[in-house]
Amino acid sequence: MVALKSSGLATCFSRVAELGPGDSFGIGLSAVLTGVDEYNAFDAKSHAVAEKNGEILEELIGLFQQREPIPDSDEFPQVSPQLEQYEFPSDILTDDILKAALHPNRLADVRQALEHEESGNIRIRYVAPWDDSSLLELESIDLVFSQAVMEHVENVPGSYQALYAWLKSGGIMSHQIDYKSHGLARDWNGHWTISDLQWKIIKGNRPYLINRHPHSAHVAMMKEAGFQIVGENKIQLPPLSRAALDHRYLDLSDGDLETSGATLQAVKPGR
């Protein structure tokens, strides 16, 4: 929410969706505890553990009730994007907003929805595996987001097109994308030195690995889907020698060669 506000975007939503939450609904449950009524979680395969997410929910309730500061880079050094300040965002989550969002009756509905998908006005839905964009109504979502997911997606253009279809006019998309080699090469950007044949062998029978798309490719695919980029926070590391690149990646820009990750925020333009 703080990162969205810093880009001049809305921070109040009713229906949100997350791609690739893994075994933790932490971000989505935080959204519900700040006023979101419907959280949809979609993953390529099933990871979520109900008991774990129940424990996460109770911990988050305490953090919001106590107005605890946002965890910083000392506590979670790998989390991106970095924020300008980590104090509890009382300017966004006012006492009135939290009083309503954390009302005991609403919290009871949240707990029930986490177990049974729906209770009162609250809906928490988990779909895995997910491969069907028709699972959500067209133009029904206010915000869609992911953390270190889009670098694993095989059909990136199709995914951005599906997200565009889901979002309402003026809806927001936010993705933190990790462009590094994920330990598949010695250097953070060594995956761009590997030939397609070698990469096919490395991937083997796994349904997905990393797609090796650089930063500019994601930006271009978002724009092709119809999005307007409104926020771009890049993480940069020393680049490889261009001579080390596989021929497929010789045309990478200097910017792509040193961009190891980014948070991209985009909106679906209003009519």
pLDDT digits (tens, 9 = 90+) for 123-132: 999 988 777 7
For residue 201, tell me if it sits in a domain: no
Instruction: With respect to residue 205, please indicate whether it lies within any of the assigned structural domains.
Output: no
How high is the pLDDT of residue 93?
A: 93
C-alpha 79/C-alpha 176 separation (Å) is 9
Instruction: Summarize pLDDT for 45-102 with one digit per residue, the tens.
Output: 887 677 899 999 999 999 999 998 867 555 555 555 665 676 888 889 999 999 999 9
Say whether pLDDT at 257 is over 90.
yes
Dihedral Cα 48, 117, 138, 226, nearest 10 deg: -30
Whether 162 maps to a domain, the answer reads yes
The residues pairing with 241 across neighbouring beta strands, listed in sequence order, are none
Rounded Cα distance between 83 and 269, Å, is 26
Give the domain CATH number at 41.
3.40.50.150
Question: pTM for this structure?
Answer: 0.91
- Residue 245 lies inside a defined structural domain of this protein: no
Q: Average pLDDT in the 176-198 region?
A: 96
Q: How confident is the model at residue 270 (pLDDT cuts 50, 70, 90)?
A: confident
Name the helix (H) or strand (E) containing 225.
helix 215-225
The more confident residue out of 50 and 248 is: 248
Give the DSSP letter of residue 229. Answer: E
Residue 15 and residue 36 in contact, taking contact as beta carbons nearer than 8 Å: yes
Q: Which residue has the higher pLDDT, 70 or 224?
A: 224
Q: pLDDT for 113-155, tens place per residue?
A: 999 899 999 999 998 877 777 789 999 999 999 999 999 999 9
16 part of a folded domain: yes
For 252, the token pair is 């990478």
Structure-token pair, residue 157: 């253009």
Structural domain containing residue 114: 2-182+213-237+260-267
Residue 188 inside a domain? The answer is: no
Q: Is residue 255 in a domain?
A: no
Owner of token pair 């969205």: 4
The pLDDT of residue 172 is 97
> What residues contact 4, with CB distance under 8 A and at least 6 apart?
10, 11, 172, 174, 265
In a domain, 58, yes or no: yes
Domain count, the chain: 1
Q: What is the mean pLDDT of the chain?
A: 91
Phi, psi of 3, deg, nearest 5: -65, -40
